[in-house]
Every structure is written in C-alpha cells, then in structure tokens.
Structure 1
Amino acid sequence: MKLGELTAGLSILQYRADPDLDVKGVSYDSRQTQTGDVFVAIRGFETDGHRYIPQAVKAGASCVVCEEKPEIDVPYILVDNARRALAILSAAWFRHPAKELKIIGVTGTNGKTTTTHLIKSIIEECTGGMVGLIGTNANVFGDVEEEAARTSPESYDLQKLLRRMVDAGCKWVVMEVSSHALVLDRVYGIQYEVGVFTNLTQDHLDFHGTMEEYLRAKSLLFSQCDKGVINLDDPHAQYLMENAKCPVVTFSENDVNADIAAKRIKLSADRVEFCVLTIGLLLDVEVRIPSRFTVQNALAAITTAVQLGIDLQCIVGALKNCRGVKGRMEVVPTGREYTVIIDYAHTPDALEKVLISCRELTKGRLVCLFGCGGDRDPTKRPIMGEIATRLADFSIITSDNPRTEEPGRIIEDILKGVTAPKSCYTVIENRREAIAYALDTAQKDDLIVLAGKGHETYQIIGREKRHFDEREVIFEHLSRS
C-alpha cells in the first residue's frame, strides 16, 4: 500500500514524506516495528512513544506519524492526535474490517462480560451466523479462543482482530467497550449497530479522576452507534439519554414504563426466571445463571437482540440454553457440604450485588474472601471493606493484584472502612493461604465467595504476572486434606 493511500483519512498538520512510499506495515511499539513500517508515536501512561522514534527507525520504520517533530532525520507526518491517527491508519491497513461486520458494543462498570456472552449466544442460535466475541475473559471466534490482554484492545490490535474475524467468516461481533477505550480512541471510527449501557458505579477513578468524567467517557459510545440500549434503573440513564446522538430504547427490572421490563422475578440456586414485558407481549424467561443481576444482564441482551430484528420468541428460547461465564458467579465443584463461588466482583457495586445475591442462596454462613488491586483507585478500598464485613457473616481480607504497591498498605486502606467486630473478619495477606483458611474453616451449608479474580489465572505482583488459578488452588488444597 502506498503511504498516500494509507494516510488519506488523517487530519494532517505537516506532511514531510513521499506519498508514493511503499508501506509494509503499521506499528506503535518500537519493539515490534519491522522494515518498511509506519511507526505511530502515541503517548502512554508510563512513557511517550516519541521517545522511541530512534529505536523504531533503527528497526526499519520508513516513516513516523507523530504529534511533535522528530529530533532525528526521518520522513514524518505531523498530526494533532496520534491515537486517533493510529485508529485511522490501522483500519485502512486492514481494509476496514468493521465495515464488513455488524458490531454490538457493551459498556458499563459491571455486567459487560455476561451481557456480551448472552448476546452472542442469542445471535448465533437465532441467525445461524458466526459471531466474534471481544472482551475481558477472551477473544473468541469459531474454534479460536485467545486470552485477552485488556478489555478493549489498542486500535491496531482491534482492527487486526476484526480482520481475522471477517476472514474466518464472522458476520457479527459483540464486544465489551471500556471507558479507557472510548477516551483513548481505541474504538475510534467504528460504527456500532447497537451500543448498550449496563450500569455505572465507582471504578477507574485513578484514570478518570471524577465520576462525572467517568460518566462522560461512557456516554461517548452513544455518539458512534445507530441505536442505543440503556438501563433505565441506573441513576445516570437520564444523562445518557439526553446526550445520546442516536435513538435510544430502555430496559428495566423495576419500571414497567421502560421499553422492555421484567415482572414476577424468581431466583433459584441454579437459575433465574421472570416475565419479560414489551409492547403487546408477555413471555416467560429462564436463564440458568443464578443471581439477581442476571435479570438486568438478560434484559440488556433481550433489548439488544430486539433492536437487531430478532424474534422475541427465539430470543427467549436461546436464553434458556445459555450457561454461565467463567469467573462470573462460577460454582466450583468441591464434593463438600459447602459451596464455593468465584466471581470477578472488584468494585464496590459489584461486590455488594454479589453478596446480596448470594445471601438469597445461602443456608449457612456467607463467607467473603476479597482484596483490592494495587495501582488502582484507592478510594474504593474502604468502601469495599465496609460492604464485605456488613453483608457477609465472615470476611477474609487478602491480596488481589497488588502490582507495585505493598499488599499490607492496600489491606490497611481496606480496614479503614471496616466497623464490624474483629470476630467477623480476619486478615491473611497471602491469597493462597487465605483460600486454604476459608476451606479449612468452612462449615456445612456455608457459601464461600472468592471475589475479585474471576476468570483471571494470574496474580500481578510488582510488574510480574504469576500463574494463579483459584480453581487449581482449591483443588490442590482439597486433594491434600
């Protein structure tokens, strides 16, 4: 591809390169740059891509796209927004795969992963088409399942993934869209068939600064989709509806004035049942994923599928065949007289919802094991400490992914919110030892919630990612006892 063709969609401040230059690829990481690449210098959280222009040129970059004039002699194109430029160049390099797909984007603090899985299952069963899935747990299409590095990939990696999905035969893609991806232009230029909002609660304030900025970030999705689906039960719904640049429909488990609503909700140990109410129709729904918040996730999926033109009867039938998602209210087989559930709950709202849901399923004690991530919003730590010790009968406070913070300091922050008597909780910094303690002290009919790790099979300690799968930890400990 010629440089002039590749860069046709850019907003250019200076063009100091030959438009007839043959381009061999696009890169944004100098360590991955190859001969003939166009290197895009983007500013990151910890470093600045402009610092690595010499390394990229040494690796063979033939042109640089940047926001500042390079300090070395190299053909360059100056732009005002290099992240946006990377998205445009990546889409062009991979021949605009998003234009060959119907893409559904789901954003929100909690519920994204389960909602995307439900939507994928509905589309596959009701249309027979292959559906790609991009999200926190994994990227999936056909027989391919790959671990996801982040919820929403960088724009180059996303466009590359979309091209692979198109070439594999996908007609649809359902993806989680993080607030980071929206603010950092990772999804710039993608037009969604439907954008979905699940909820907004405290998270990522280390990045956004305030809840107002976090909300504004989420609202960006509704400026690049054809239709919007919004949870009317969330207190931020009105803001999103007023600022959406597309037609919006709503769902609710509390308000029958929503376009699609739930009535007669029944929770069981292995499923939820409710009636879905829409104009002129009232149908029974069954989803075999226990917990109260499954209702909202299912409503989001139903409303989305209706907007895609899928028959409601088929939607209800597909939901009945859906199973749970790894790390989301996942019951771990133990062969014991107690139950262990692994859940990704790592925000105050998610932890509260999980514990309230589990309380309805618990015959004995409700035990909560949790920690908080390092190098992330510290203000949620005492809040989660208060929630866990208030809602669980016994809490085990431990490590999550401490990253570069001292685990003990994180636990101290958590304890600032704890007002329960010391008999109601304990602190065991080592997560493996904490899980062993939970299993060793479990009583008949107890329900033990391991919160925070969910689908993750690692712990990040310092800058090292170490293998740590809670399912394996449980099995190994029980096999020795």
Structure 2
Amino acid sequence: MQLNELLHGFGHQVLHGDTSTVISAPPTLDAHRVTPGAVYFAVPGHQEGGPEGVARAVELGAAAVLVEGRDTCAPADGVCVVRVPDTRVAASAVASRYYGEPGRSMDVVAVTGTNGKTSVSYMVESVLRIAGGARVGVIGTSGSRIGDVRVPMPRSVLTTPESPDLQYLLGHMRDRDTARVVLEATSMALLTHRVDDAHIDLGVFTNLTQDHLDDHGSMENYAGAKLRLFQGLCRRAVANIDDPMGAVIQRLMPGATTTYALDTEADYRARDITMDAVGSRFTVHHRGRSYPAEIPVPGRFSVANALATLATCHLLGHDLELLVGALRHMPPVPGRFERHVTAGGTSVIVDYAHSPDSLEKILTAIRSFATARVITVFGCGGDRDTTKRAAMGEIAGRLSDLCVLTSDNPRGEAPEAILDQIAPGVAATGTPFERIADRRRAIASALAAAGPDDIVLVAGKGSEPHQIVGDELIPFSDMAVVRELAPRAPAVSAAMSALGG
C-alpha cells in the first residue's frame, strides 16, 4: 500500500521524498522495532523513539517517517518525510488503514473506568463463550488472547497497546474469525488516541474514583479523558448510573445509552443482594421481568460488574435468561478476588485493588464474611499519584487487623520513601503494621502471622507477571509466591473450606 493511500484525507505536508512510497511493513512508534518498508511515527516524548529515534528508524530501513510541529530529520535516499499536525492521531488512522480497518469486521467492546475494566472484560468473554459458544478476543491488563490462545506480542506494561499494536491485534483476531473483541480502554489510551480508529460498537463505563492524578493533574482532567470514549469513539454506551458520570454519558449519547445500577432506577437493576465467602446472589430487574442470579465472587462491586456484563452481552443480541444462567458458571478472573487456602487453613485472596476505592470495596466485602482476623499486604506504585498513599493506609488500617506495608511497582522511587507516605495513614487508625519493602518477604511474613480462620489479602498487583523496579520488569507473581510459600508457613488446624481452593 502506498503512503498517500494511508494518508488520504489526512492533513499533511511532504518535507522530503514522494508519498507514492510503498509501505510494506507494519507501522510503529518504536524506533527499535522498525523493519524494512515500515512507516515510523516520531511521537514527541515517546520512550521508545520520538524524534530522537529517527536516525535509528532510517538505519533499520524505514520507508517513511512522520513528524509533527517543528520536528524534522535529515533527508535520506528513498525515505519519505511527512509533517502531520499530531503524530499520535496519524498513527491511529494510518495503522487502522494498513491492517484494513479490522474493527469494522467485528463487534468491538471497549471497557473504561477506574475499577472493573479487567473483570468486566473477562466476564463478558466468559459469558459469551458459555451462553453462545462465541469466539471472543480479549485485549487488556493480562495480555491479548483469542479464547485460551495467547497472541504473542512484545513485552509491555501498557494495558491498552499503542495504536499500531492495537490495530495489529484487531487484524490478527479478525483473520482468525473472531466475531467479538473486548478491550480495556485506559484513560491514557483515550487521551493519547490509541483507540481512535478501533471502530468501537459498545463503550462500557464502570466508575470513576481517585487514581492516575499523576498523569492527569486533576479529577476533572481524568474524567475528561474517560469521556472521550463517549464523544464519538463508540456507537452505543453502557453506563453505571450509580456514578455521577453515568448521567453525563447519557447527556453525551442521548438515546444510545443503556444504564445499570445497584441503588438507582436503571435499565438493568440488581436488588436483594446477599453474599458470603463463596459468592453473591441477587435479582436482576429488566423491563418488568426479574431473574434470580448468582456469581462465584463476593462483593457489591462484583454484582455491579455482572450487571455491566449482562447489559453488554444482551445488547450484542444474546438472550438475557441464558446470560444470567451463564454467570453462575464463570471461571475466576485471574488476580481478581483470586483465592487460595493453605494446608493450615488460612485463606489467601489476591486482588488487583490499587486505588483507595477498590481497596475499600474489597476489604469491605471480605469483612462481610470474615470470622477471624484480616491481614492486608499492600503498597502503592512508584512514580504515580502520591496523594492516595496515606488514604490507602487509612483504609487498610481501618478495615484490617494487621497490615504489612510493602512494595508494589516502585519504578523509579525508593521503596522505603513510598512506605513513609503510606505509614501515617495506617498509624492514625491504631492498627498494628509492619514495613517490609521486599514483597516476597512481606507475603511470607503475613502467611506466618495468619491463623487457620484468618484471611490474608495480597492487594495491588493481581495477575501481573512482573514487578517494575527502575526500568526493569522483574518476573513476580503474587499468587505463585503465595502457593510456593504457603507450605512453609507454620501448620495450623482445620481449613476454611467455605472459601474453596
């Protein structure tokens, strides 16, 4: 395909060369991943390239380079250099065209919100498979897959891939007869145009609570980034009307928004909610009919996620009664209320909760069925919103009997400095706590302190397979560490069988 076809209708200025140049290799923002015949986007500030990566891209055989603003590059034989108003916007459009606009060939569902993106994505995929045997692609925190088959991709910490990678994934899924794709759309992905040309059919909004203020500066900016999904990027919306943002989405997409709620009248409403250690039961109300439902996960937040799932799958054309039945048989979501019982009877829950709201919700759910002590192991991510650290300490202290403060993903910060900011919040509650920056040692300490009926919550990383220390991705799995260390913990009596294994 020629570059001028990829840029058709998109404002640009040719600085060097000819746009009849043939683009024969995948587009990329990463200078080190350029292959001969590719188009390279010199996105300012991009860690893997930017204007500083142009020379490397040309050296590796780039056929074209797109720059913005005053950026330019030295002319090279056979390389077309084009200036565009915004390289990120151009990358999304060009990548979509290069892969044949794959989103148009499938039902694409994008889930956004502070909490629940991964859970809703997994639940939608699971329910569609159980209820109708659908072939579903998933793109998100835990990587990309079609059913149980993973799509190989370069290692990354991004929940929502950069637009060239996202379009590659959509094309890969289309070419394997995938009818539906559900993806997690983060606020930064929406702000940086990664999903602009994904041709999203359904945008799902879960909730908005404090997080990512390091990226956005204010809750207003954070909300604005989330709302981009509902300002022309999707055709229909599913929105949590218990959250004030739900009403905003309704105003943005009048007549195209389906609502769900636990506490407010909505298109899909859950009532009569009860829960115990093994799950939640509730009644779904929709258009004058009621459906008894249950899910194998405790917590009101899980019921809200189930409603979002039912609304989404019903709008995709599936029978609601079959969908409600499928909820009962969902497999557990990796790293979301994932449970393990030690040989000595201690119940361990691994969860991704890493914001004040999500930590409070999961601890509240655990408290509702705990019969003994709750021990919480958690930390806060480095180089991220520092204002939530003391707040999370206070929540953990208030709802736990013992806290073990540890490293999450410290990134470029000193782990002890992060703990210094969490500790005052815990101390204010009077709950005893330990500081053990080494996450493995922290989990071991919690397991050693736990008795047979105690519950240990390991929060913050969920199913992440690595820990980010400095610029390194170090292999680390909370659940794998729990399973390895649990047999070494002091043996105690009777297992808490109610939580399952």
TM range (shorter): over 0.9
C-alpha change, 1:422 and 1:433, in structure 2 (3 Å) is: farther
Correspondence for 1:11: 11
Q: CA RMSD in A?
A: 1.8
Instruction: Spell out the pairing of 1:321-360 with structure 2 (5 A cutoff).
Output: 321-360=329-368
Correspondence for 1:31: 32
Q: Are 2:270 and 2:282, in contact at CA under 8 Å, matched by a contact in 1? A: yes
Instruction: Spell out the pairing of 1:39-50 with structure 2 (5 A cutoff).
Output: 39-44=40-45, 46=47, 49-50=50-51
Correspondence for 2:218: 210
Correspondence for 1:85: 90
State which drifts further: 238-247 or 88-97.
238-247
Correspondence for 1:271: 279
Correspondence for 1:99: 104
Secondary structure at the aligned position of 2:425 is classed as: coil
Residue-pair matches, total: 480
Correspondence for 2:61: 60
State which drifts further: 59-68 or 143-152.
143-152
* Residue 245 (structure 2) pairs with residue 258 (structure 1): no
C-alpha change, 1:476 and 1:324, in structure 2 (3 Å) is: closer
Correspondence for 2:128: 123
Task: State the Cα distance separating 1:214 from its structure 2 match.
Answer: 0.5
Secondary structure at the aligned position of 1:265 is classed as: strand
Task: State the Cα distance separating 1:218 from its structure 2 match.
Answer: 0.6
Q: Are 1:398 and 1:434, in contact at CA under 8 Å, matched by a contact in 2? A: yes
Task: State the Cα distance separating 1:35 from its structure 2 match.
Answer: 1.9
**Amino acid corresponding to residue 305 of structure 2 in structure 1:** N
Q: 1:311-345 deviations in whole A, cap 9, x for unaligned? A: 11111111111121111001023122221100000
Identify unmatched segments of 5+ residues in structure 1. none
Instruction: Spell out the pairing of 1:438-449 with structure 2 (5 A cutoff).
Output: 438-449=446-457
Correspondence for 2:492: none
Task: State the Cα distance separating 1:387 from its structure 2 match.
Answer: 0.7
Q: Distance in 1 between matches of 2:246 and 2:147?
A: 35
C-alpha change, 1:336 and 1:11, in structure 2 (3 Å) is: farther
Q: 1:357-384 deviations in whole A, cap 9, x for unaligned? A: 0001210011111000101111111110
Task: State the Cα distance separating 1:48 from its structure 2 match.
Answer: 6.1
Task: State the Cα distance separating 1:32 from its structure 2 match.
Answer: 1.2
**Amino acid corresponding to residue 238 of structure 1 in structure 2:** A
Q: Are 2:270 and 2:283, in contact at CA under 8 Å, matched by a contact in 1? A: yes
Identify unmatched segments of 5+ residues in structure 2. 490-501
Q: Are 1:110 and 1:200, in contact at CA under 8 Å, matched by a contact in 2? A: yes
Q: Distance in 1 between matches of 2:277 and 2:371?
A: 11
What TM-score, normalized by structure 2, do the two folds share? 0.92
Q: Distance in 2 between matches of 1:125 and 1:480?
A: 38
Task: State the Cα distance separating 1:436 from its structure 2 match.
Answer: 1.1
Q: Distance in 1 between matches of 2:150 and 2:341?
A: 24
Q: Distance in 1 between matches of 2:90 and 2:371?
A: 56
Task: State the Cα distance separating 1:245 from its structure 2 match.
Answer: 6.9
* Residue 235 (structure 2) pairs with residue 234 (structure 1): no
* Residue 184 (structure 2) pairs with residue 184 (structure 1): no
Correspondence for 1:20: 20
C-alpha change, 1:479 and 1:393, in structure 2 (3 Å) is: closer
**Amino acid corresponding to residue 22 of structure 2 in structure 1:** D
Q: Distance in 1 between matches of 2:127 and 2:17?
A: 49
Task: State the Cα distance separating 1:423 from its structure 2 match.
Answer: 5.5
Q: Which of 155, 171, 174 is equivalent to 1:166?
A: 174
Secondary structure at the aligned position of 1:331 is classed as: strand
Secondary structure at the aligned position of 2:31 is classed as: coil
State which drifts further: 353-362 or 30-39.
30-39
Q: Distance in 1 between matches of 2:13 and 2:20?
A: 19
Task: State the Cα distance separating 1:137 from its structure 2 match.
Answer: 1.5
* Residue 372 (structure 2) pairs with residue 364 (structure 1): yes
* Residue 152 (structure 2) pairs with residue 151 (structure 1): no
**Amino acid corresponding to residue 213 of structure 1 in structure 2:** N
Q: Are 2:392 and 2:425, in contact at CA under 8 Å, matched by a contact in 1? A: yes
